[in-house]
Amino acid sequence: MLSHALTIVINELEKHLTDAYEAVAPQVRLANIAEGVGNGANAGVPRDVLSFSMVNLREEKALKNGPHYARNDSALRVVYQNPPIFLNFHILVVATHGNYENALLMLSRMIRFFQFNNVFDQNSVAPDSLTKNLIGKPLDHLEAFKLIFDLYSPTMEEVNHLWGTLGGKQYPFALYTLRLLELKFQAVQSEAGLITDVVTDFGQRNAVPGR
């Protein structure tokens, strides 16, 4: 589902760059920047693209204690299942352009895109963005979603640790927090009927004389 979420956002960014700047696709790729940048067959990330890489994830603790059941009032049933997990991700966007000026140009275009459009859901994105470049099975794809991109400003120490962990030299980049991706598997653990009536009128039977 994370792959589908990032693919949707990449499709939206690619469409924006094509419509606003007449850029020739592909301009944006989903790739692991730790595999290196280059033009060879063994390079993980090609030159002259904006590369999206996930570098960290965290659970959203504030939404951890959700209900373990869902009511179906029309069928008078209650379904018991584990609540979904809400995750926040750190997404590293790297401009791999060989020309430094072009790298800064594309990076600024990307930042401006998320400045005016940082919330994505199934109703606001283009229909093609939901289906283009999909991989996996239908269970791997998002149905209802709300993705929020916030710019994250790391300290110089964090930048040093980040690129040191990735094992490569630093390229022009921006770091974003992708918030509130809901992950769940539609598996019902148990099911029962709803309680519709509660009897509170209790009476006491009179004792039989002589007993």
Tens digits of residue pLDDT in 131-146: 998 888 888 888 888 9
Q: What is the pLDDT, as a whole number, of residue 98? A: 92
Q: What is the pLDDT of residues 16-59, one digit of tens each?
A: 999 999 988 789 999 999 998 887 666 678 899 999 999 999 98
Residue 148 CA to residue 60 CA, distance in Å, equals 13
Phi, psi of 83 (to 5 degrees): -70, 155
Residue 101 CA to residue 47 CA, distance in Å, equals 14
Q: What is the pLDDT, as a whole number, of residue 139? A: 81
Q: What is the pLDDT, as a whole number, of residue 195? A: 55
Q: What is the pLDDT, as a whole number, of residue 188? A: 46
Give the residue ranges of the chain where pLDDT is below 50: 187-189, 194
Q: Full-prediction pTM beyond 0.75?
A: yes
Helix (H) or strand (E) holding 10: helix 2-21
